[in-house]
Chains A and B, each alone.
Chain A
Amino acid sequence: TQLLEQSPQFLSIQEGENLTVYCNSSSVFSSLQWYRQEPGEGPVLLVTVVTGGEVKKLKRLTFQFGDARKDSSLHITAAQPGDTGLYLCAGTPNDYKLSFGAGTTVTVRA
């Protein structure tokens, strides 16, 4: 059983469309992180959100942390083929042990 549930599991969209990926938990996290992983590579950190209600923007990516610090979302505007990858959310119930969701596989078709 995973602490963090991600939805949807798979997402395939056309270049230029928008998409949102969700990460939910029944537990409260001190912070949540979003990673992107490409085939044959390790996950790479995109952002860390630490404050309930926080919104962070990274170019076309917008990350939101829920007010209760139990959920988060990742929104991509005008997706490009280069955004294709596995998006993982992760949280730390303690200071060091990251717990990952199962991930959302995003495919952006040209």
Chain B
Amino acid sequence: AQSVAQPEDQVNVAEGNPLTVKCTYSVSGNPYLFWYVQYPNRGLQFLLKYITGDNLVKGSYGFEAEFNKSQTSFHLKKPSALVSDSALYFCAVRPGSARQLTFGSGTQLTVLP
């Protein structure tokens, strides 16, 4: 069975600094990897995905993520954080053979002004 780990419940970063939200996964076969963001009292919004191809994936709002097969990681990054990036971030995975996503427990990102 597949699983996702987000080792940090909370990440704090100063505005303008780079940010990283960590994600590692376990899945049989080739993984399909996703990042979602959840703002307060709203549903999850799709940020970016990795299916195949370049290991560096660019998504919405200036976010990017790097797929590292040897480390089974898919960390979310942004070169310069904004206060408006403060939200709850979820990593998700599914094997190519399945349709349903398995989500991590989420990481609360707080960007301090």
Q: Do these two chains interact? A: no
B interface residue numbers (CB < 8 A to A): none
* Residue positions of A touching B, CB distance < 8 A: none
